[in-house]
Amino acid sequence: MTLRDTLIGIHAAGGTVAFGAGVVLVRQAAGRGPGRLPVMAYLAGMVVLAATAAVLTGTDWAGLGPAPRAVFAALTGFAVVLAGVAGWARRLLTARAPGWRPRVTEAVGFTLIALFDGFVIIAALDLGAPGWAVAVVAVAAVLAGRRVIQRVGARAARRQDQPEQPRADAEASLSRG
């Protein structure tokens, strides 16, 4: 296994962790507020994803032509933006200022859609799909993701005005159930 393969594996693992933890965060933001573990896993996954994207782009740079350099530089920049959005979502979750639920849902949802789209695009490319089919799948994934996030965001906005049950009561009810 080469260093590049290892970096790709770490990159994929970071994206997978961020996606799984992000789904938990969005669900919890629409219900009971999220715990510390999914927040930290989400942020760590996004940072790992962005860092490995930058390292991979840097290690491949000399062998890339102008067009692939532009694409990989843009994707790395986008990964850094996604990590920044994840940091912003963590701050929203920590502060829990009025209106935090729909804002967290929107922020985390944005990154989830981007991650899902990346997974779908890579899968389509790995399956040998033609470029037009990859584009159709990518756009369909974004549209479906927006619809899901809008529905969950509406539920989070409705939940916004309801007081949260203290965490100790919630944990006690989970241990009884």
* Residue 143 domain flag: yes
Domain limits for position 150 = 3-163
* Residue 31 domain flag: yes
* Residue 50 domain flag: yes
* Residue 171 domain flag: no
Helices 100-126 and 66-95: angle between axes, nearest 10 degrees: 150
* Residue 169 domain flag: no
**Could you give the residue ranges of the DSSP H alpha helices within the chain?**
3-29, 36-60, 66-95, 100-126, 131-159, 167-176
14, 25, 26, 35, 122 from 60: Cα distances, Å: 20, 34, 35, 38, 18
Question: 64: helix, coil or strand?
Answer: coil
- For residue 161, the tally of other CB atoms under 10 A from its CB is 8
69 Cβ partners below 8 Å, 6+ apart?
A: 61
- Work out how many domains the chain is built from and give that number: 1
Side-chain half-sphere exposure of 75, counting CA atoms within 13 A: 19
How many whole angstroms separate alpha carbon 74 and alpha carbon 175? 46
* Residue 80 domain flag: yes
* Residue 173 domain flag: no
Q: pLDDT digit of tens for each residue in the chain (177 aa)?
A: 899 899 999 999 999 999 999 999 888 877 766 677 889 999 999 999 999 999 999 998 999 888 888 988 998 999 999 999 999 999 998 888 888 888 888 999 999 999 998 888 888 888 888 989 989 988 998 998 889 888 887 877 776 655 554 444 444 434 444
Average pLDDT value over all residues in the chain: 85
How many whole angstroms separate alpha carbon 99 and alpha carbon 131? 41
**Locate tokens 């939940």: which residue?**
159
* Residue 168 domain flag: no
